Structure formats: structure tokens, C-alpha cells
Chains A and B, each alone.
Chain A
Amino acid sequence: MKRRDFLKTVGALSLAGCASAMPSRARVVVVGGGFGGATAAKYIRMWAPSVDVVLVERESAFVSCPISNLVLAGYSSMPEISHGYDGLRRHGVQVVQDDAIAVDAQKKTVRLARGGDIAYERLIVSPGIDFSFADIEGYEAAMQAGRVLHAWKAGEQTVALRRQLEDLRDGGVVVLSIPLAPYRCPPGPYERASMIAAYLKQAKPRSKLLVLDANPDVTSKGPLFKKAWSDLYQGVLEYRGNAKAVGVDARSMTVKLEVEDVRGDLLNVVPPQRAGNIAMSAGLITHNNRWCDVDWRSMESKKVPGVHVLGDATLSAPLMPKSGSMANNHAKIAAAAIIEQLSGRPPQPEPQILNTCYSFVSQKEAIRVSSVHRWDAKDATLKPVAGSGGVSAARSEAEGTFAWNWARTIWSDTLS
């Protein structure tokens, strides 16, 4: 729907409500159409068809970060990981392609970049991450010049990084730099390392990948990744912990660490991250100027009443990863809670959600981590259930099959 037509429709609905003196329908506005926001929009419509849901999303399609590392290796494609919003429209979600730039929590309105305010009864902000570019000297200029990429939001940079890998001379050095945790998708950088190494081994056998990790060691599925690297990518992939990037120089193509400079032919530097920009302008950030603390029974902001925050932007509960699975699950807590709140009832007392997260280590083999998170009344947060969860016994093609099933199914659960 074009934005103007949408405005007419919503205007007409409101007027009709007034004219006939019927009780108005509740409107939930969702900002951000990723794993969190899209799932919330769908599930509110599914569980409470009488609630109006408006989704504000700046892109015309969802591009999945999960599986995007496979695009870099040539094992998947942009069309395969891109999905439009027609599925949500079929659920009756009104999708507005625009950028939400401010929230007035007193008036309960969201301001759109192209002009206009949308009123809400409850607001969901699921903005994902934005980057703290300033933490790495020279980063932003180097990125604007196309000399360094992060590709940590799937999209144009995924395509550009794939092209840089294809253009790399055989014998060239790729540098992958990983920020200190917490960042989006704990195992993601190590899956990326595996995918780049797989591509180099096959297409540029004299090339090398140097992984510079700001963390002391691999932060997720460590033994499984390291076993895969030593079995499959010896001589291709070199891993260094405690190697934090503090600057980049586009002219000399170097990554500056605290104690030395490292030169590469291709620089994939992933900067430190924080909650997306709208979380900052809406005053939702509570910790380290980076993340948003929430009440895990409803996902409602601890700072701004009536506003729920989902996904990577949240101040993570203990041992909870910033993952697509978690964002999808956060959305279901929020959907259930908002439906209760709109009806004047309290949210569910003891939510419980789970995470399952696969990483490919070769074209067909994957490894996995899972966890179950239950409300803990004493500490007022979600905590892993003792004795539950764990990782794959070993990398396998069977886990690869389940990984593809997870990806296709969560895309469908989120968007169709």
C-alpha cells in the first residue's frame, strides 16, 4: 500500500469509529520489521484480530542475517535470504515503509521521517543494532569510501563483501575483526570466519584469513568452531584473541590494534554495537549508552511506560544471546502481554522462552547451541533453566539439514 493510501485508510477507520460512537479499536504500532518486530505484528493480529497493528519499516523487504554468511561463500543468495512483507499484510498488518525518527511517550505518538505522527495505544520498538563507528578511528570515512565493510546488517554490504572476496587475488590476505561482546549474534563472526575460509580454500587456495578477535577467546561454541578450523581450514585460517581494533587506515589497508598494525588486502571490520538509533532518540537506553533494560514479563521498557523493546536492542538477560530466535521469542512475550494489557489484565506471570542457534562451519555441516530461559521471580529476570540446553555433540550434515529447516521455518513464522 502506498503511504498516502494508508493514511486515508487509517483516517477513515478513526472517523468511522467516532461517527458511530462505537468503541475505537486499539492500535499497536511496531517500529522495525526484523525477527522481533515482524513476529510481534503477526502474532498480535493472530491472537487478537480486533487489534489494529501498524508496522513501520524503512526497507521494502526483510533481509535475513542468519544464512547471510553463506551468501559470502556462494552457498546461498540474496534472493534466498530476502523476504517481502506481503505475508504480514495477509494477517491484516498495515505496513508503512518509512523511518521512525522520534517517539512522544506523553502524547503516545511516533514521528515518521517523511512527515506525520502515528498515535499508538502500545508501542513496540524492535530496532536491531546500530554501530558505534567512533570507537574505531577512521572507520566511518573508510567505510564511506568502500575500503572497509562490516556486513553485520544483511543487505548491500553483504553483496559488496561477496564482490570483494570474488575480486581478491589468489594469495591475498583477508582480515576479519570482531568487537568485544555483547554484539549481535555471538557465534556469527566465527561462522563468517568459517565461510570465508571455505571460500578461500576452494577458490583462492594461496590466500589467508586472519581473524582478529577483541575477546580473549571464541565467545560461542568455541571447541566446536576450533575443531572445525583445525580439521578443515588449517593453513587458511589464523585466529588471534585479545586483538581489539582501535583504528583503520584505508590508504595503507591496515587495522590498528592496541599494540601493532595488521595489513590486509580485504578488511571486514565489525564495529562495536548498540541499540538502534530510534531506541536512543526515544530515550529507551538504560545501560552504557548502548542497551535497553526491559521487564521480561512484558518486554516493556523500564524507562518509558507503554513502550516495549525487543531483540538485539535489549540489555540481555543472563546468558541470553542477541539472536534471531530470541528476538522472535521476545516478540511472543510482548504480543501476549500487550493483548492482556489492552484488555486491562496483567501480563502472563511467568514467561518461558527458548533459543536455538545454528552456525555453518562448511557448506553442509553445522553446529548448534540451545538454551531455555525461565522467569526467576527472586532476581526478576529470565534465567537459563538448570540442566537444560547445550551444544551439538559434533559438527554434522544432519545439523546442517536442521539449520536450513530452522532458517526457512523462522522466516515463515516471522513473516508469513
Chain B
Amino acid sequence: MSTTLAWTTAALVCIAATPAAAQDVAGRNLAASCAICHGTDGRIATKDSPLIPLAGLPKDHIATQLRAFRDGKRPATVMHQIAKGYTDPQIDAIAAWFAAQKR
């Protein structure tokens, strides 16, 4: 018996969610890279992580720390090298995104 099934492609496409503000999306997209070490949306999902959760930290605190890493004022194993890849507006967008996430 032939099991080939033809599934119709949706002709009309509907994304129900209201599009997020472009600025939020930009922050979200930049911050998504951080999740490989800091967890999805900055929430620590593992036991015994050496890192603190970024989700819900004050925006100014995150931005200040990122600039301190970037400018060599706060020592680090890796963040000094990564922070140098981000501009001031990018740092502010990332900080705003994490600050807005639920802990």
C-alpha cells in the first residue's frame, strides 16, 4: 500500500502574535547569542553554574559591567574579548532585553 501523503501547504499565513517593536527585536536577537553560556533569556538552567543570572538584573548594571569588561576595567577570562565586539547602542539594547526578562 502506498503511504504517500500529500499535505497541503497553507496558502494563507498568519502570525497571531503582535510584532514586537523593532528595537526590542534587535535587543532580543543580539542577546540570544549570550544564551550559550548564560542560558535562554539569561536564565540559568543548570546546577552549579559559576555565573549569575542576567534575567531581571537592572539595565544600568548590565550595561556598566559590559562597558567595564570592554574597557579593561573589570578583569575576566572571556568577557573582555567578547565585549570588545559590541558598540554602545548594542550594549544598551542587550542590557534592556535582559533587564526586561523574568527571573
Which residues of chain A have a CB within 8 Å of any CB of chain B? 7, 10-11, 14, 17, 23-27, 43, 46-51, 107-109, 114-121, 325, 328-329, 332-333, 336, 339, 342-343, 345, 348, 351-354, 356, 368, 370-372, 374, 385, 387-390, 392-393, 396, 398-399, 401-402, 405-406, 408-410, 412-413, 416
Contacts and interface: CB of A to CB of B under 8 A. Distances in A.
Nearest to A42: B40
Given A117-B4, A342-B13, A413-B35, A405 B50 contact: yes
B5 A117 contact: yes
A187 to B, nearest CB: 15
Interface in B33-71: 33-40, 44-46, 49-51
Given A116-B4, A372-B82, A388-B84, A405 B46 contact: yes
Interface of B: 2-17, 19, 25-26, 28-30, 32-40, 44-46, 49-51, 77-78, 81-86, 90
Given A353-B33, A354-B85, A409 B49 contact: yes
A372 B78 CA distance: 12
Contact of B14 (A7, A50, A345): A50
B29 A336 contact: yes
Nearest to A411: B46
A50 B17 contact: yes
Given A402-B50, A405-B50, A356 B78 contact: yes
A27 B17 CA distance: 15
Given A116-B3, A402-B37, A405-B49, A352 B14 contact: no
Q: Which 7 A-B pairs have the closest CB atoms?
A: A372-B85, A24-B10, A388-B85, A50-B16, A115-B3, A23-B14, A385-B85
Given A356-B37, A388-B82, A405-B51, 4 more contacts: A24-B11, A43-B32, A119-B9, A348-B25
Given A26-B15, A405-B46, A416-B45, A118 B7 contact: yes
